[in-house]
Chain A
Amino acid sequence: MKTLKGRTIVPGKRRGKALVSTKPISFLGGIDPDSGKVIEKNHDLAGENIKDKILCFPCGHGSTVGSYVLYSLASKGFAPRAIVNQIADPVVVVGAIIAEIPMVDKIDVQKIPNGTEIEVDADKGLVRLLEDS
Chain B
Amino acid sequence: MYLTRKEEKIYDGEFGWAYQTAMKILVRLGDLFGASKLIPIKSAHISGVSYKTLGDAPIDFLKATAETCPRVRVPSTLNPCGFDSDYLVTKFPEKLRKKQALILNLYTQIGVVPALTCTPYYLKTPKNGWHLASAESSAVVYTNSVLGAWTNREGSPSALAAALVGKVPDYGVHRPENRQPSIVVKVETELANEAEFGALGVCVGKMLKDEVPVFQGLPANVKGDELKQLGAGLASSGMISIFHYKPSPTKGLERVAVTKSDVRNAMENLSANVGTPDLVFVGCPHCSLGEVKAVADLVRDKKVRREFWVCTSRFVKEKAMEHVRVIEKAGGHVLCDTCAIVTWLKELGVKVMLTNSAKAAYYSPTMNRVDAVLAPLNECVETALKLQR
A residues with CB within 8 A of B: 9-10, 28, 33, 63-69, 71-72, 75, 88, 90-91, 93-94, 97-98
Can you sample 25 A-B contacts with CB below 8 Å?
A9-B28, A9-B32, A33-B57, A64-B47, A64-B154, A64-B155, A65-B48, A65-B53, A65-B57, A66-B57, A67-B156, A68-B54, A68-B61, A71-B60, A71-B61, A71-B64, A72-B56, A75-B64, A90-B158, A93-B28, A93-B32, A94-B155, A94-B158, A97-B25, A98-B61
What residue in chain A is nearest B159 (Cβ atoms)? A64
- Closest CB-CB distance, A83 to chain B, in whole Å? 13
Q: Given A69-B57, A72-B61, A94-B25, list of 20 further CB < 8 A pairs?
A: A9-B28, A28-B54, A63-B53, A64-B154, A64-B156, A64-B158, A65-B156, A67-B156, A67-B157, A68-B60, A68-B61, A68-B157, A71-B61, A75-B64, A90-B32, A93-B29, A94-B29, A94-B155, A94-B158, A97-B28
B153-172 interface mask toward A, CB cutoff 8 Å, 1 = contact, 0 = none? 01111100000000000000
- Closest CB-CB distance, A76 to chain B, in whole Å? 8
Q: In the bound complex, what is the Cα–Cα distance between A63 and B56 (angstroms)?
A: 14
Q: In the bound complex, what is the Cα–Cα distance between A92 and B56 (angstroms)?
A: 18
Contacts of B54 in A (CB 8 A): 28, 65, 68
What residue in chain B is nearest A89 (Cβ atoms)? B32
Contacts of B154 in A (CB 8 A): 64
Whether B157 pairs with A64 at a CB distance below 8 angstroms is: yes
Q: A9-B28, A97-B24, A98-B25 are in contact. Are A64 and B57 (CB under 8 A)?
A: no
> What DSSP secondary structure best describes chain B's contact surface?
helix
Q: Which residue of A9, A68, A71 is within 8 Å of B48 (Cβ)?
A: A68
Q: Is B139 an interface residue (CB 8 A)?
A: no
Q: In the bound complex, what is the Cα–Cα distance between A113 and B265 (angstroms)?
A: 45
Q: A67-B155, A68-B48, A68-B156 are in contact. Are A90 and B57 (CB under 8 A)?
A: no
Q: In the bound complex, what is the Cα–Cα distance between A93 and B26 (angstroms)?
A: 11
Q: Is B34 an interface residue (CB 8 A)?
A: no
Q: In the bound complex, what is the Cα–Cα distance between A38 and B12 (angstroms)?
A: 35
Contacts of B156 in A (CB 8 A): 64-65, 67-68
Contacts of A66 in B (CB 8 A): 57
What residue in chain B is nearest A71 (Cβ atoms)? B61
Q: In the bound complex, what is the Cα–Cα distance between A28 and B47 (angstroms)?
A: 15
Q: Which residue of A88, A91, A97 is within 8 Å of B21 (Cβ)?
A: A97
Q: In the bound complex, what is the Cα–Cα distance between A93 and B21 (angstroms)?
A: 12
Whether B29 pairs with A90 at a CB distance below 8 angstroms is: yes
Q: In the bound complex, what is the Cα–Cα distance between A40 and B294 (angstroms)?
A: 43
What 10 pairs between A and B have smallest CB-CB spacing? A64-B155, A68-B58, A68-B57, A71-B61, A72-B60, A94-B157, A67-B157, A64-B156, A69-B57, A68-B61
Q: In the bound complex, what is the Cα–Cα distance between A33 and B58 (angstroms)?
A: 11
- Closest CB-CB distance, B252 to chain A, in whole Å? 29
Contacts of B155 in A (CB 8 A): 64-65, 67, 90-91, 94
Contacts of A98 in B (CB 8 A): 21, 25, 61, 157
Q: In the bound complex, what is the Cα–Cα distance between A64 and B47 (angstroms)?
A: 9
Whether A88 pairs with B57 at a CB distance below 8 angstroms is: no
Chain B residues 28 to 59 lying within 8 A of chain A, measured CB to CB, are: 28-29, 32, 47-48, 53-59
Q: A64-B135, A71-B61 are in contact. Are A33 and B56 (CB under 8 A)?
A: yes
Whether A64 pairs with B29 at a CB distance below 8 angstroms is: no
Contacts of B25 in A (CB 8 A): 94, 97-98
Q: In the bound complex, what is the Cα–Cα distance between A72 and B28 (angstroms)?
A: 20
- Closest CB-CB distance, A58 to chain B, in whole Å? 16
Q: In the bound complex, what is the Cα–Cα distance between A72 and B21 (angstroms)?
A: 15
- Closest CB-CB distance, B49 to chain A, in whole Å? 10
Q: In the bound complex, what is the Cα–Cα distance between A90 and B29 (angstroms)?
A: 7
Q: Max chain B CB contacts within 10 Å: which of A10, A66, A97? A: A97
What residue in chain B is nearest A34 (Cβ atoms)? B56
What residue in chain B is nearest A10 (Cβ atoms)? B28
